[in-house]
Amino acid sequence: MYIAVAGNIGSGKTTLTKMLSKHYGWKQYLEPVAENPYIDDYYKDIPRWALNMEVFYLKQRFKNLLEIQHCKETVIQDRTIFEGVYVFAANNRKMGNMDQRDFDTYMELFESMMEVVEMPELMIYLRSSVPHLVKNIQKRGRDYEQKMPIDYLEGINLLYDDFIMNKYKGRVLVVEVDNLDFEHNPKQFGDIIDKIDAKLFGFFS
C-alpha cells in the first residue's frame, strides 16, 4: 500500500509523515531537501535555477516511485511527484520563472514517467493559511527559506487547493492544520489517525 502526505512548505507534512510511519510501522520516504544541489542557488535567483530545481525533484520523485512500486511494505511518502508537477513547477511557470519551452520539455518528461507509475491509495493534504506557514517556517529557521517571498507561498497555496479539489483523481483526506499541534497533542494526532483508518479500512461515501 502507498500513502502520501501533501502540503505547502511549513505545513507540517514531514513531521506527520514521520509520526505516521512510527505509528503504523510504515516505511517512510522523505523529500531530499538537504540533498538538492540547486536549492541555495534557487532561492537566490529563482528564474535562473527553476528548471534545474524542478528536474532534480522530478528525477528524485520518479526514482522513489519506482522503488515504492516494488516495495512489499506499506510506504508513506512526504510530497509526491504529482505535487511537484501540478503545484511547484506550475507555480514557477505561472510566475514567469520557467519559459514555455522549458515547461513544455519538463511536462513531456513527466508524461512519459506517468506511463509506468501508480497513484497513492490515499493522499493526506495538510491545508494551511499563509500566516500559519510563515510562522512555522520562521520557527524552524532554515536560512534559505527565510528569504522566501510571501507571494510565492500564496501562489503555492492556491495551486495546492486547485490541484487537490479539481485535478487530483485519487482518494484524499483534507486536514485543516491552522489550529492543530498534532506533534505535541496526542488527542489531535489520534483524531487524524481515526480519519485515516476510516478512509483506508472503513466504509466510504
* Residues tagged active-site: 78
Angle at which helices 186-201 and 13-24 cross, to 10° = 70
* C-alpha to C-alpha distance for 185 and 135, rounded to whole angstroms: 18
* C-alpha to C-alpha distance for 179 and 182, rounded to whole angstroms: 9
* C-alpha to C-alpha distance for 185 and 192, rounded to whole angstroms: 11
* C-alpha to C-alpha distance for 25 and 74, rounded to whole angstroms: 8
Residues ≥6 apart with Cβ < 8 Å to 59: none
Q: What is the largest CA-CA distance in the chain?
A: 49
C-alpha distance from residue 195 to each of 122, 172, 188 (Å): 11, 11, 11
Instruction: Name residue 46's amino acid.
Output: I
Per DSSP, the three-state class of 149 is coil
Quickly tell me which residue has 507509475 as its cell. Answer: 117
